[in-house]
Amino acid sequence: MFSIIQAAGWPIWPLIACSILALALVIERFISLKSSRIAPPRLLEEVLSVSRNAVPAPDVVNQLAKNSALGEVLASGLQALNSNPRCSADDLRATMEGTGRMVAHRLERYLSALATIASAAPLMGLFGTVVGMIEIFGSQSSSGVATGGNPALLAHGISVALYNTAFGLIVAIPSLIFWRYFRARLDAYLLTLELASERLVRHLNTLRK
């Protein structure tokens, strides 16, 4: 592996840094976007059960807000109702939508960085290719004809060009795949939060009637 890095020349080092950063972002997103952290499967049913007869006490609501992203959104509606028992359904919905937007912004963290790496890696590989081509032409004689007297420079230029092109694609393709995967996963979570919020609003309206 080290011999490949040597053959690829200095342009490959930014690509290696991008590959390490992309790997760290993918691991972090896998950990942060677990279902237990975002939308535990039974949480909504538990909230509906606890609030069947009355709005839960503030300490219970605060514990719910710390449970997960879904708990934070649902708790915002309950907190609004605790603060103002006469608030309308539209006010409840607006409060939960505002909290949902803040949660969505937090969940989208680092996805733009992963997308940037997926877009920039091929360009960085292309830059390495250009550097390799410059070294190839630098190994030519001033008359434009290869002298054949310095095949090492010619081989090194070809190595720089090909290795950087390949490594740029190796970094970009997985980064793009994982970015699309996390984007789809996040969209599914946000839909779950939206539907759960709407269901809680209807439940609280029924409770007050």
Question: What does the alpha-carbon distance between residue 16 and residue 67 come to, in Å, rounded to a whole number?
Answer: 37
pTM listed for this prediction: 0.82
Question: What does the alpha-carbon distance between residue 192 and residue 201 come to, in Å, rounded to a whole number?
Answer: 14
Orientation of helix 89-107 relative to helix 151-208, angle to 10° = 160
Instruction: Find the domain containing 97 and state its range.
Output: 2-208
3-state secondary structure 21-68: HHHHHHHHHHHHCCHHHHCCCCHHHHHHHHCCCCCCCHHHHHHHHCCC
Q: What is the pLDDT along the chain (209 residues), one digit of tens a residue?
A: 666 666 667 778 899 999 999 999 999 999 999 998 999 989 999 999 888 888 888 899 999 999 899 999 999 999 988 888 888 888 889 999 999 999 999 999 999 999 999 999 999 988 888 887 887 776 655 445 444 546 666 776 777 788 888 899 999 999 999 999 999 999 999 999 999 999 999 888 887 66
Domain count, the chain: 1
Orientation of helix 69-83 relative to helix 58-65, angle to 10° = 150
Nearest to 147 by CA among 158, 136, 156: 136
